[in-house]
Amino acid sequence: MRNPVLSAVHVYPVKSVAGCAPSEAAVEPWGLAGDRRWMLVGPDGRFLTQREHPRLALAAARPLPDGGVRVTAPGGEQLTVEVPERIGTTAVEVWRDKVDAVPAGAPAAEWFSGWLGTEVRLVHLDEPARRRPVHPAYARSGETVTFADGFPLLVTTTASLDALNSLIAQGDHADEGPLPMNRFRPNVVVDGTAPWAEDDWSRIRIGEVSFRVVKPCSRCVITTTDQRTAERGKEPLRTLARHRRFGDRLVFGQNLIPEGTGTIRTGDPVEIEN
């Protein structure tokens, strides 16, 4: 087996919207630069994702150099949003976390509301260094996260996806496979490991940046959503339930917390500590 390397990097500027795959990305204490700094919320301020709106998979977001974002909907219609001036903040909810965020303004709200067919607002996380602490059961003092579900980064491996696809091919929904990696929305993908090797990792180093491996990633209905069509099936949850159940959770990938900052690049060597 060849030495592990970083095979892909993914940044998702707007939570639950398709992102981009740059060849390199800056690692900040709260995650990759530009990752999940924007989020859609309903009238009650609670976060919205592909769980409720699978159609979000069909839009794509790209970060702008000044921190803004450009979103492209199917058909090519675009929305460009600059970082909003922080005149005031609004309270939003991400899972059980209450977070102060800055509204992106009426044009963005109208664009997304019209596209989704329901009332939504776009908000921006202006100060990730202090807005949302990582769950204290897994974090060190002062560690924070953006609008990601709970942790700064998610790592997956190509070997584990290959193994999962082999299991899907043997199951009762084989016609749904093989699944692409985008079903799992990772930030970093590692090639050159054994299948499920990440279960035993305690720390990894990608290029110049070290990360703690803090918790397996529990998977939800978003993984059953075809990211090209927004249609849902049964896989991979059916197969994960049979082969990757840990207690009441179905697991694929591992959550990471950076132990420093720097730049990671595709092709970087990955050093692993078990």
Question: How do residues 4-55 score in pLDDT, each as one tens digit?
Answer: 999 999 999 999 999 999 999 999 999 999 999 999 999 999 999 999 999 9
Report the alpha-carbon distance of residue 167 to residue 147 in Å, rounded: 32
Question: CB of 254 within 8 A of CB of 12?
Answer: no
Question: Sign (positive/negative) of CA torsion 95, 98, 99, 101?
Answer: positive
Residue 129 near residue 30 (C-beta atoms within 8 A): yes
Nearest to 198 by CA among 164, 247, 225, 239: 164
Q: How confident is the model at residue 87, as a pLDDT?
A: 81
Helix (H, G, I), strand (E, B) or coil at 2: coil
pTM value is 0.96
Intra-chain end-to-end CA distance of the chain, in Å? 17
